[in-house]
Structure 1
């Protein structure tokens, strides 16, 4: 994260062209160091969209204790929103605050799980993929709704999944993370394969719908000043 990836002051047409370019830089094969720390990221908006809020929770990975992972550090960063809402360009609104949050961490994770899309995006650059390029870290997107791609109906049992595809490519999986609860949409962001993204999400699943890193980040983000009126956009 030492060198800036690009400027944020872009018109929508410029941002769309940049997405197409950046998507070519993504690594969709595994390049992970040994994982000892996992970060969960949740990004949202407050003050009727005028403020972007990023919450990051850092967890210690212990395969023997998973999914009950110890919280090592947690931060919330807020800053003025830089870009108006444009469908498909939400990462340009969200990532500046996320980068601010990561700068506050005293330690660097080896894996990042983001509440949002990875490559399951019309131009293959959702927030998790975009953030992964900025951080040069392995990232996984875990979204609560579909943005792009097609899939067959998923079985009702925990762990059932169906491929999420578009144009003959597999973008990720639609995963039933809890029995008879709406599935989540898992896609790699950067430096992670589809198979490994699914494997890590399953390792971090507890009793709830979301894997522990993004569940805890979402919980941290919800502890905001009661005077603030938050609004969430689909990622």
Structure 2
């Protein structure tokens, strides 16, 4: 894995996004669901102290058991700018991934990939920088629109930008429960990204990868600020 370029300002951040966006690979299907190792990453913030804690949790895709987990706590080194959130999270997330002794076949982000105003969300950024297949599974549709999918688990509908471009899918992971919003990050097809999101969510709306990573990064932040 390589370290990520960090910008000095907003213009620099957009320039890095523009450069890296051209490296996103959209022609690969990605690893098959239910096989290999899958990592979930998530972050928690302490705004008063300017701290961010990241967690990377690796699950066995077949059993959804935790294989390994790692955390990292760092300073927030970039201001909050809509569309540039990855620069606040990326260094600490990469540090958590680097601390793992196993290499996952897929990284699942609690956020966005192509479903992003500049078509380069955290899942794209992380995928390009690490070279790993990556997808985004978000809890809300951000600025995009969709028609409500059917009520049954596995039902889906296109997630669209204002110009009509399909940037992801709204996916029902549990019967009658609000959908999640899946988008491609790097080296995974949208069909396969949705299949992974479904396989990782056997009991709850949110993928097990995200549930574990969310709990772990919150704990790491509590311990860092205790």
State the TM-score, normalized to the length of structure 2: 0.90
**Counterpart residue number, 1:98:** 93
Deviations 1:7-65 (A, max 9, x none): 31321022123223322211112253575110011122124360111111011222xx4
The alignment partner of 1:195 has SS state of helix
The alignment partner of 2:48 has SS state of helix
Is the contact between residue 40 and residue 108 of structure 2 (CA under 8 Å) also seen in structure 1? yes
Q: Please give the alpha-carbon distance, in whole angstroms, between the structure 2 residues aligned to 1:151 and 1:47.
A: 32
For the aligned residue pairs, the C-alpha RMSD in angstroms reads 2.0
Q: Please give the alpha-carbon distance, in whole angstroms, between the structure 2 residues aligned to 1:33 and 1:199.
A: 11
Is the contact between residue 200 and residue 207 of structure 2 (CA under 8 Å) also seen in structure 1? yes
Among 171, 176, 179, which residue is 1:180 paired with? 176
Is residue 110 of structure 2 the alignment partner of residue 115 of structure 1?
A: yes
Is the contact between residue 75 and residue 105 of structure 1 (CA under 8 Å) also seen in structure 2? yes
Q: Please give the alpha-carbon distance, in whole angstroms, between the structure 2 residues aligned to 1:22 and 1:226.
A: 35
Deviations 1:134-175 (A, max 9, x none): 110000101101123321122222222111122343211011
The alignment partner of 2:159 has SS state of strand
The number of residues matched between the two structures is 222
Is the contact between residue 43 and residue 54 of structure 2 (CA under 8 Å) also seen in structure 1? yes
| Deviates most, 152-161 or 117-126 | 152-161
**Counterpart residue number, 2:59:** 59
Q: Please give the alpha-carbon distance, in whole angstroms, between the structure 2 residues aligned to 1:217 and 1:49.
A: 21
Deviations 1:201-222 (A, max 9, x none): 1111121111111111112223
State the TM-score, normalized to the length of structure 1: 0.87
Is the contact between residue 111 and residue 139 of structure 1 (CA under 8 Å) also seen in structure 2? yes
Q: Please give the alpha-carbon distance, in whole angstroms, between the structure 1 residues aligned to 2:202 and 2:8.
A: 40
Among 135, 140, 143, which residue is 1:140 paired with? 135
**Counterpart residue number, 1:212:** 208
Give the CA deviation at 1:228.
4.1
Q: Please give the alpha-carbon distance, in whole angstroms, between the structure 1 residues aligned to 2:124 and 2:143.
A: 14
Among 26, 30, 33, which residue is 1:32 paired with? 30
Is residue 41 of structure 2 the alignment partner of residue 41 of structure 1?
A: yes
**Structure 1: unaligned runs, 5 residues or longer:** 230-235
Going from structure 1 to structure 2, the CA distance change for 1:163 and 1:49 (only over 3 Å counts) comes to farther
**Counterpart residue number, 1:12:** 10
Going from structure 1 to structure 2, the CA distance change for 1:48 and 1:32 (only over 3 Å counts) comes to same
Is residue 192 of structure 2 the alignment partner of residue 189 of structure 1?
A: no
Going from structure 1 to structure 2, the CA distance change for 1:227 and 1:101 (only over 3 Å counts) comes to closer
Q: Which 4+ runs in 1 deviate beyond 6 A? A: none
Going from structure 1 to structure 2, the CA distance change for 1:157 and 1:49 (only over 3 Å counts) comes to farther
Give the CA deviation at 1:113.
0.6
**Counterpart residue number, 1:233:** none
